[in-house]
Amino acid sequence: MRHTLPLAPQFYVTAPQPCPYLEGRLERKLFTALQGSSAQELNDGLSKQGFRRSQNVLYRPSCTDCSACMSARIQIEGFKLSKSQKRVRSKNASFERRVTSPWATEEQYELFRRYLDSRHADGGMADMDVFEFAAMIEETPIRSRVVEYHDSETGALVAVCLTDVLEDGVSMVYSFFDPDYEKHSLGTYIILDHVEIARSSGLPYVYLGYWVPGSPKMGYKAKFSSLQIYKGGQWQSLGDPAEHEKGTHPLSTAPIAEQVANISLPDLPAHRTTR
């Protein structure tokens, strides 16, 4: 007899560890492997539900006593540049964008090290060597691109973004830039350019990762118009950032089993077995 079995992903939870965004709190992640022929469909489906990709893993915060981390995305329709963002775009108009396949280079790694040493010397990536960097860039089972930005006058590489292509947008997995170009606001510029990439590709969203109210590291994301956050199991407009509290009562966090049961899985290919 032939039986058709769905290839349902298995979900796991990490052990609690210090939160990198809010002092004195612990973080925990719900995650699943991203592999096989259905990897793209799974990434598309779970990205719409607040998950993010790291190499071949999809994860979402699942902390026991906090729900501050919320996935954020820019809705292209209705997006408008602020005055300061117009100045950033104008200042960097001479930069050249180059889109390549996900392949790590020595030039990228040198820029990555300078970026970390300047801005995140005590962060979780501070000890990442060239092999780990290459894995971060190259270990992707889905449609991914490396978007490089070069100074057209000098030819120097000034910024890089590892970008996933989703069915409804582009997802900025990780970006870094030359600390010597601090006055150019390259972090903001990279996001603005990805808005243009999505718009020119007919895609409705730019996924930015997590926005964390109360975290200085993540506050900049609230400055982009038409920002949406994934909260309470649905996407909604950010509105007034001050209205989003940093934490919740522990009993308001759903058990892991309930969280997994509420995840909507895409239609995945079936695996056939013979008995």
Half-sphere exposure of 29 (CA within 13 A, CB side): 18
Considering the domain architecture, whether residues 181 and 249 belong to the same structural domain is answered as: no
Q: Tell me, what's the pLDDT at 64?
A: 84
> How many structural domains compose the chain?
2
Q: Tell me, what's the pLDDT at 236?
A: 95
**Cα 171 from Cα 208, distance rounded (Å):** 6
Cα separations in angstroms, 263 against 19, 132, 154: 24, 31, 48
Q: What is the mean pLDDT of the chain?
A: 89
3 pLDDT more than 70:
no
Considering the domain architecture, whether residues 211 and 103 belong to the same structural domain is answered as: yes
Give the model confidence (pLDDT) of 108-155 as tens digits: 999 999 999 887 656 667 788 999 999 999 999 999 999 999 999 999
Considering the domain architecture, whether residues 183 and 104 belong to the same structural domain is answered as: yes
Considering the domain architecture, whether residues 158 and 56 belong to the same structural domain is answered as: no
Considering the domain architecture, whether residues 66 and 92 belong to the same structural domain is answered as: no
Instruction: Using alpha carbons, select from 239, 189, 170 the residue that is nearest to residue 211.
Output: 239
Give the model confidence (pLDDT) of 70-109 as tens digits: 999 999 999 999 999 999 999 999 999 999 999 999 999 9
Reduced to 3 states (helix: H, G, I; strand: E, B; else coil), residue 241 is: helix
Considering the domain architecture, whether residues 51 and 141 belong to the same structural domain is answered as: no
Considering the domain architecture, whether residues 105 and 169 belong to the same structural domain is answered as: yes
- Which CATH number is 219's domain given? 3.40.630.30
Q: Tell me, what's the pLDDT at 272?
A: 41
Considering the domain architecture, whether residues 43 and 161 belong to the same structural domain is answered as: no
* DSSP-H helix ranges across 174-255: 186-200
Q: Are 140 and 79 in contact (CB under 8 A)?
A: no
Considering the domain architecture, whether residues 109 and 65 belong to the same structural domain is answered as: no
**Cα 34 from Cα 42, distance rounded (Å):** 7
- Window from 12-16, 89-93, 239-243, 246-250 with minimum mean pLDDT: 246-250
Give the model confidence (pLDDT) of 144-183 as tens digits: 999 999 999 999 999 999 999 999 999 999 999 999 998 9
- Window from 9-23, 77-91, 103-117, 184-198 with minimum mean pLDDT: 9-23
Q: Tell me, what's the pLDDT at 50?
A: 95
Dig out the tokens for 10 from the structure: 């298995």
**Cα 137 from Cα 132, distance rounded (Å):** 9
* pTM for the model: 0.90
Considering the domain architecture, whether residues 251 and 263 belong to the same structural domain is answered as: yes
Q: Are 150 and 158 in contact (CB under 8 A)?
A: yes
Considering the domain architecture, whether residues 11 and 118 belong to the same structural domain is answered as: no
Q: Tell me, what's the pLDDT at 206?
A: 98
Considering the domain architecture, whether residues 86 and 182 belong to the same structural domain is answered as: yes
Domain coverage including residue 89: 73-240
**Stretch 199-206: mean pLDDT, rounded?**
98
**Cα 137 from Cα 120, distance rounded (Å):** 19
Q: Tell me, what's the pLDDT at 65?
A: 80
Q: In the chain, what percentage of residues exceed pLDDT 70?
A: 89
189 pLDDT more than 60:
yes
